[in-house]
Amino acid sequence: MDAVWNISFLQELLLSTIRMATPILLVAIAELYSERAGMVNIGLDGLMAIGALVGFLVGYNTMNPFLGLLAGAAAGVAINMIFAFFTVSLCAEQIVYGMATNILAPALASFIYRLSFSDTSVLIKGVAQDAAAIPGLSQIPFFGKLLFNHPPLVYFAYILVILTGIFFSRTRPGLNFKAVGEFPRAAETMGIRVINVKYIACIICGALAGLGGAYLTICYTNTYSEGIVAGRGFIALSAVIFGRWVSGGVMMACLLFGFCDALQIRLQLIFPNTPYQLLQMIPYVCTLLALIFFGIRKNGPKANGQPYFREER
Amino acid sequence: MRRRFTALLTVAALTGAMIAGCGSSTSGSASGSPSASESGKSSKTTEYKVAMLLDSSVSDGGWGASCYQAMLKAAKEEGWDNAYTDNVAQSDYATVITDYCDQGYNLIFAPGNQYQDAVVQVAADYSKIDFCILNGTAEKDNVTSVLPDAHQIGYMAGALAGLMSKTNSIGFIGGMELDTTKQKLECYTKAAQKVNPSITVQSAYAGSFNDAAKGKEIAGSMVSTYNVDVMFGDASAVDAGARETLGSLSGCYDIGQPGDLGSADDKLIICSVVTDNAALVEQCMKDVESGSYGNKTIRGDLSNGCLSVGTFSSAVPKDVQDKYMEYISQIKSGTFIQ
């Protein structure tokens, strides 16, 4: 137990928390934008998978991590446009098309991967983005390494949380955006272009989800393997609900999940005789407990998940 | 109204495309690839065909990839036609196997204990078709189990880890708690402690064979908390993630499996425990051809060449290599640990 009760254990645990929470956070913010415009997109896992692959491929071929991340985001947008066209323009059922994305995109990703590398038995190594330490701040003992020594995308994710919070509560476009998710017909009569807002939401959602996927293959590891997303999209989906559709809450939900996951790995090492399945349940049990504790009094956007028929009365 | 109709139509079209396109990816080599049969023994009158299924991917850089390569190699040697279906969900095992049976495949290769129930179930209905289960235990008239010795794999990795660890702390990452994984971990621990009694072993399960990021975190936590310096893994792509962490630290080593992953100038992978599944699959094919199939378990170990020691890295000093090879011959003769 001596190995546990010291400052470096705590630091490693929290560092690990931030690393594990970041991809989920990016994708959860993606879903937040989508749901605020009334679009429930459960296809996040699929968007991450295609983002992870395209980001990896472009990074591998250009050896430029930034291009890889951009390409991952672009791929996410491209795939999410299928969802957008069917659910916004054709008013189809959102859950069905989200599920379709989850089936189509990972299969497309493995197809492209095999076209690119045939069926080689070694994992191909791509490009990795190094941590960018912020000069000065990263020298602060304990907190410096914890908060200011990460790949740029990590800073981006946390800045995005703040910007999103300001956007939705303090700016006119943000309030208009929210109105589309609450009562699109009223928003339309007030002169808000509902269809446009919904498309913009889908573009933001696709870009951020693709970026979250690319984080896995460029910033986190530098290899791509099928199934690397490992259900993170669904966790992000629950983080949005858990976080009560506000960016700060979503961030806390993601951090809690990251913390529990980082903790369960370490508990496996500390208590080797405990069945590991029990410890792996911790993140999910915590989510359940937190939901019970906080209750579900505050609901999400009122028109969430409902198709908007513009010309119907 | 017209819009609804268009929507319905496109939904129908897309669903159709999806069902056709991505239920799971099946290789096309079965549908008449002349090169496969030409490269083999052309004298054969009957065309033999082998098919395999996988719950992971053939390009996962670990277990799935090595099993697929094993089937390809064996099929090439014997001049068989081949096909595979990967990323098969547990609920679809029996369906996929039945499909291949209906298509007239002679041998179905199921690389893992997890397929055993489905294979035995289908095998009862198709008495003319032969089935091979890797790491299996079932023996029927048309089912043969192929079993690389997990104990020896554990001993081989453990002995080297014990010899190479400077911090007396070594690690093991499992994907899922399979029987073979548990045996490997147990023997890994025993062997390391026999070679160096002060060794402690840290182990953790990722709960996945694909989540490379998880592997990276697990390796990181082992090194930072318990100062682990030699790692052995049984979790395919998760191991690749673990290697990324270890590779970024100096003085940390990894032992590869099941392919020969290292090379002489590899700073990280000091050696590999190589499992040659191809030889075992080939043995099954020979049995099918000669009509002597079924009711047995083909064991693979050091003595029949199914297991072997991979390429040493230059990080392993000559005297350690010699000592290790001594242990290997003891493992081979069964005198290492009784």
Q: What confidence tens digit (pLDDT) does each residue in A53-70 have?
A: 999 999 999 999 999 999
The answer, for A222 touching chain B at a CB cutoff of 8 Å, is yes
Q: What is the predicted pLDDT for the residue at A196?
A: 95
Which residues on chain B are in Cβ contact (under 8 Å) with A19? Answer: 217
pLDDT band at A208 (very low <50, low <70, confident <90, very high): very high
**Nearest chain B residue to A10, by CA:** B225
Average pLDDT over residues A35-48: 95
Instruction: Cite the beta strand spans of chain B per DSSP E.
Output: 49-53, 81-85, 107-110, 130-134, 143-148, 169-174, 200-205, 230-234, 253-256, 269-275, 296-300, 307-309
Chain B contact for A95, CB < 8 A? Answer: no
User: What's the mean per-residue pLDDT of chain A?
Assistant: 90
Average confidence (pLDDT) over B278-283: 87
- pLDDT grade, residue A259 (50/70/90)? very high
Which pair of tokens denotes residue A115?
């076209």
Q: Is the dihedral of CA B215, A210, B15, B31 positive or negative?
A: negative
B8: pLDDT strictly greater than 90:
no
Retrieve residue B19's tokens: 């069902």
Q: Does B16 touch chain A (CB under 8 A)?
A: no
Domains delineated in chain A: 7-119+128-294 (1.10.3470)
Q: Where are the alpha helices (DSSP H) in B135-290?
A: 150-164, 179-195, 212-226, 237-247, 277-290
Check residue B40 and give its pLDDT. Answer: 41
Q: Report the distance separating Cα B258 and Cα B311, nearest Å.
A: 13
pLDDT for B29 equals: 41
ipTM of the modeled complex: 0.86
Chain B residues in contact with A86 by the CB 8 A cut-off are: 7, 10-11, 14
pLDDT of residue B12: 58
Q: Do A227 and B208 touch (CB under 8 A)?
A: yes
Once rounded to an integer, what is the mean pLDDT over residues A133-145? Answer: 84
**B119 near B129, Cβ under 8 Å?**
no
Q: Would the CB atoms of A262 and B221 count as touching at under 8 Å? A: yes
Q: Nearest to residue B250, comparing CAs of B200, B172, B315? A: B315
Give the model's pLDDT for residue B24. 47
Average pLDDT score over residue span B244-250: 89
Contact partners, residue A288, CB within 8 Å, separation at least 6: none
What mean pLDDT do residues B177-183 have? 88
Which tokens in the block code for residue B28? 């096309």
Task: Please tell me the distance from the alpha carbon of residue A211 to that of residue B147, in angstroms, as a whole number.
Answer: 43
User: Among B15, B60, B213, whose Cβ lies nearest the Cβ of A216?
Assistant: B213
Question: What is the mean pLDDT of the segment spanning B119-124?
Answer: 93
Q: Measured between alpha carbons, how far is B321 from A276 in angstroms, rounded to an integer? A: 35
pLDDT band per the 50, 70, 90 thresholds, residue B10: low
Interface test with A, best of B4, B8, B225 (most A CBs within 10 A): B225
Ordered domains of chain B (ranges, CATH): 34-149+277-300 (3.40.50.2300), 150-275+305-333 (3.40.50.2300)
Peptide bond into B258 cis (omega under 30): yes
* Cα radius of gyration rounded to whole Å, chain A: 20
A236 has pLDDT over 90: yes
In angstroms, the CA B89 to CA A221 distance is 26
Cα–Cα distances (Å) from B231 to B26, B45, B88, B188, B246, in that order, read 35, 49, 30, 11, 9
Amino acid found at B335: T
Mean pLDDT of A112-118: 86
pLDDT band at residue A121 under the 50/70/90 scheme: low
Query: Which of B52, B217, B243, B272 is most worth mutating to test chain A (most A CB atoms within 10 A of its CB)?
Result: B217
Task: Please write the tens of the pLDDT for every residue from A3-41.
Answer: 567 888 898 899 999 999 999 999 999 999 999 999 999
User: Phi first, then psi: what are they for A308, rounded to 5°?
Assistant: -110, 105
* Contact at CB, B244 and A222, closer than 8 angstroms: yes
Q: What single-letter DSSP state applies at residue B211?
A: -
Average pLDDT for residues A91-117, to the nearest whole number? 92
The greatest distance separating any two alpha carbons of chain B, rounded to the nearest whole angstrom, comes to: 82
Q: How far is B233 from chain A (nearest CA, A)?
A: 15
pLDDT at residue B7 in the model: 58
Q: What is the pLDDT of residue B156?
A: 94
Q: How many Å apart are CA A110 and CA A179, to the nearest integer?
A: 39
Are A58 and A232 contacting, i.e. CB atoms less than 8 angstroms apart? no
Q: Is A264 on the interface with B (CB under 8 A)?
A: no
For the record, the structure tokens of B30 come out as: 């079965």
- Torsion angle, alpha carbons of B105, B110, B116, B117, to 10: -50
Whether the per-residue pLDDT at B263 is higher than 90: the answer is: no
Q: What is the mean pLDDT of residues B79-106?
A: 92
| A263-266 contact pairs (CB < 8 A, 24+) | A263/A13, A265/A16, A265/B204, A265/B214, A265/B217, A265/B218, A265/B221, A266/A4, A266/A9, A266/A13, A266/B221, A266/B225
> Residue B35: its pLDDT value, please?
39
What does the pLDDT look like over B191-224, one tens digit per residue?
A: 999 999 999 999 999 988 888 899 999 999 999 9
If one counts every other C-beta atom within 10 angstroms of the C-beta of residue A190, the result is: 10
A272 touches chain B (CB under 8 A): yes
Tell me the per-residue pLDDT of B127-179, one tens digit each, with 9 for 90 and over. 999 999 998 888 888 999 988 899 999 999 999 999 999 999 999 999 888 88
What average pLDDT does this structure show over A265-279?
89
* Pairing assessment for the beta strands B143-148 and B169-174 based on DSSP bridges: unpaired
pLDDT for the residue numbered B15: 55
Whether B216 and B245 have beta carbons less than 8 Å apart is answered as: yes
Percent of chain A residues topping a pLDDT of 90: 64
Q: Which residue has the tokens 């476009």?
A: A173
Q: Kindly give, in sequence order, each residue whose CB lies less than 8 Å from that of residue A94, ignoring residues fewer than 6 positions away.
A: A39, A40, A41, A42, A83, A87, A305, A307
Which residues touch A137 (CB under 8 Å, ≥6 apart)?
Answer: A144, A147, A148
What pLDDT is attached to residue B32?
36
Tokens of residue B327, six digits: 């242990």
pLDDT, tens digit, 9 for 90 and up, residues B23-75 = 444 444 433 333 343 444 444 456 899 999 998 888 776 778 888 988 999 99
Terminal Cα distance for chain A, rounded:
67
The arithmetic mean of pLDDT across residues A96-100, rounded, is 95
Closest CA in chain B for residue A103: B22
Ranges assigned E (strand) in A92-249: 132-133, 149-150
Give the pLDDT confidence score for residue A122 in this predicted structure: 67
Taking the mean position of all CA atoms in its chain, how far away is CA B298? 16
Confidence at residue B2, expressed as pLDDT on a 0 to 100 scale: 54
Q: CB distance from A24 to chain B under 8 Å?
A: no
CA atoms within 13 A on the CB side of B113: 11
pLDDT at residue A139, as a whole number: 84
> What are the contacts of A114-121 at 24+ separation with CB within 8 A?
A114/B25, A114/B59, A116/A57, A117/B59, A119/B58, A119/B59, A119/B65, A119/B68, A120/B59, A120/B65, A121/B59, A121/B61, A121/B65, A121/B66, A121/B68, A121/B69, A121/B259
CB of B12 within 8 Å of any CB in chain A?
A: no
Give B295 to chain A, closest Cα distance, Å: 32
Q: What CA–CA distance (Å, rounded) separates A89 from B15?
A: 18
